């Protein structure tokens, strides 16, 4: 009897320990592959959380679409099967329409302005708003300013865009931007190498690091520095999970994500010079000074579209436009 009790108690404490350990594993989802902007944030976050919690928490990173595309990762975060995500701004569009505001074309003039606005009260309004969709908004890191690449022709002004088959993110705003510019946009989840290679689409738009890390220089001849949208990542936690954490753990985790974001933004920007050099060396034909006024003129009506009709969204957009004048 004593022996049975002894064995039982050992078994019990073992399984209890497992429950405790399992509860402390943070599953983190990104759609992109190691070396990508999202993964650099994820790696830093993992390092900081594991260090600052003295090993209480482990972060397990799921990348390269191993748990689905960005929309699917967001759905899993809502259900708390995944706790944390580093997700591009675009796909939030259907979950929390107010996020559209930061993807507005030609909104931010430069990185410093994007930091000031997103780290300030307007960025906080967006993070807070995410709670209504089941996400605890933690911070913004960056994909960066998006540029157009294609395989058809050099693009200098809006007229050259006409009829291009372009892949866009799962975002109604992104689709509307490219429709307004005369392209033929098709929403597709990431990644898109095969579609570009096979000519299902003529082009795509993304920040410089993507052309390097995903080797788009192998399959895209032309790039135009349009910088049409500043594309942040919005880093979130599952609201269901968040509510179970102590205030101390919440703050440790939030701070780790903020620090990882600040680290990654600088890292990304520091590398852009070398990336341009690499892409030229690989033979891409790069238009560095396109006629951006012609692009701007085409998208200027977007703020009056249905996408921004909701009074809350409209109000924030106007504040954003004012703050970035």
Dist. CA 305–CA 176, nearest whole Å: 9
- What's the closest the beta carbon of residue 190 comes to ligand EAX, in angstroms? 4
> What is the DSSP pairing of strand 84-88 with strand 230-238?
antiparallel
- Distance CA(249)–CA(77), nearest Å, equals 18
Q: Which of 92, 190, 222, 263 binds ligand EAX (CB under 6 A)?
A: 190
Alpha helices for 91-141 (secondary structure H): 111-118, 121-129
Question: Quick one: 31 or 320, whose CB is closer to ligand EAX?
Answer: 31
Question: How many Å apart are CA 18 and CA 16, to the nearest integer?
Answer: 5
If you search the block for the tokens 């996020």, which residue do you land on? 99
Give the residue among 187, 93, 148, 157 at the shortest CA–CA distance from 298. Answer: 157
Among 28, 31, 59, 127, binds ligand EAX (CB under 6 A): 31
Kindly write out the interface string for residues 197-236 of this chain, putting x where it contacts ligand EAX by CB under 6 A and - elsewhere.
Answer: ---------x---x--------------------------
The partner residues of 36 in beta bridges, in order of sequence, read none
CA-based nearest residue to 299, from 166, 136, 183, 153: 183
Which CB atom, from 225 or from 252, has the smaller least distance to ligand EAX? 225
Of how many residues is the chain composed?
325
Min CB(17)–ligand EAX separation in Å: 38
CB of 143 to ligand EAX, least distance (A): 5
Of residues 154-173, those binding ligand EAX (CB under 6 A): 169
Number of residues that bind ligand EAX (CB under 6 A): 8
228 closest CA partner among 315, 143, 304, 299: 299
- CA 134 – CA 83 distance, rounded (Å): 11
257 touches 119 (CB < 8 A): no
CB-nearer residue toward ligand EAX: 222 or 242 = 222
- For residue 114, state whether it binds ligand EAX (rule: CB under 6 A): no
Binding residue (CB under 6 A) for ligand EAX from 39, 76, 83, 88: 88
Least separation, in Å, of the C-beta of 176 and ligand EAX?
Answer: 16
CB of 173 to ligand EAX, least distance (A): 13
Q: Does 141 bind ligand EAX (CB under 6 A)?
A: no
268 lies in the binding site for ligand EAX (CB under 6 A): no
Binding site for ligand EAX (CB under 6 A): 31-32, 88, 143, 169, 190, 206, 210
């Amino acid at each position: 009897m004593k022996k049975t009790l002894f064995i039982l108690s050992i078994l019990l404490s073992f399984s209890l320990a497992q429950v405790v350990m399992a509860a402390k594993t943070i599953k983190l989802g990104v759609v992109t592959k190691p070396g990508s902007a999202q993964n650099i944030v994820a790696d830093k976050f993992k390092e900081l959380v594991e260090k600052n919690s003295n090993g209480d928490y482990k972060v397990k990173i799921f990348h390269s679409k191993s748990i689905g595309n960005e929309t699917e990762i967001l759905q899993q975060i809502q259900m708390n099967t995944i706790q944390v995500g580093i997700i591009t701004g675009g796909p939030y569009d259907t979950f929390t329409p107010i996020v559209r505001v930061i993807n507005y074309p030609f909104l931010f003039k430069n990185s410093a302005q994007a930091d000031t606005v997103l780290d300030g009260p307007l960025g906080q309004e967006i993070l807070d708003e995410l709670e209504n969709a089941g996400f605890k908004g933690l911070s913004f890191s960056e994909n960066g300013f998006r540029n157009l690449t294609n395989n058809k022709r050099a693009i200098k002004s809006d007229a050259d865009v006409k009829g291009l088959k372009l892949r866009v993110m799962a975002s109604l705003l992104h689709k509307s931007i490219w429709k307004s510019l005369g392209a033929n946009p098709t929403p597709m989840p990431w990644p898109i190498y095969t579609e570009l290679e096979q000519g299902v689409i003529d082009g795509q738009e993304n920040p410089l690091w993507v052309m390097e890390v995903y080797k788009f220089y192998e399959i895209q001849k032309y790039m135009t520095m349009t910088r049409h949208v500043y594309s942040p990542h919005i880093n979130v936690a599952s609201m269901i999970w968040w509510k179970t954490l102590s205030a101390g753990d919440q703050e440790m985790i939030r701070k780790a994500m903020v620090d990882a974001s600040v680290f990654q933004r600088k890292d990304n920007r520091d590398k852009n010079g070398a990336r341009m050099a690499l892409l030229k060396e690989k033979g891409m034909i790069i238009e560095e000074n396109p006629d951006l006024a012609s692009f701007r003129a085409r998208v200027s009506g977007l703020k009056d579209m249905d996408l921004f009709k909701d009074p809350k969204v409209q109000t924030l957009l106007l504040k954003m436009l004012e703050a970035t004048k």
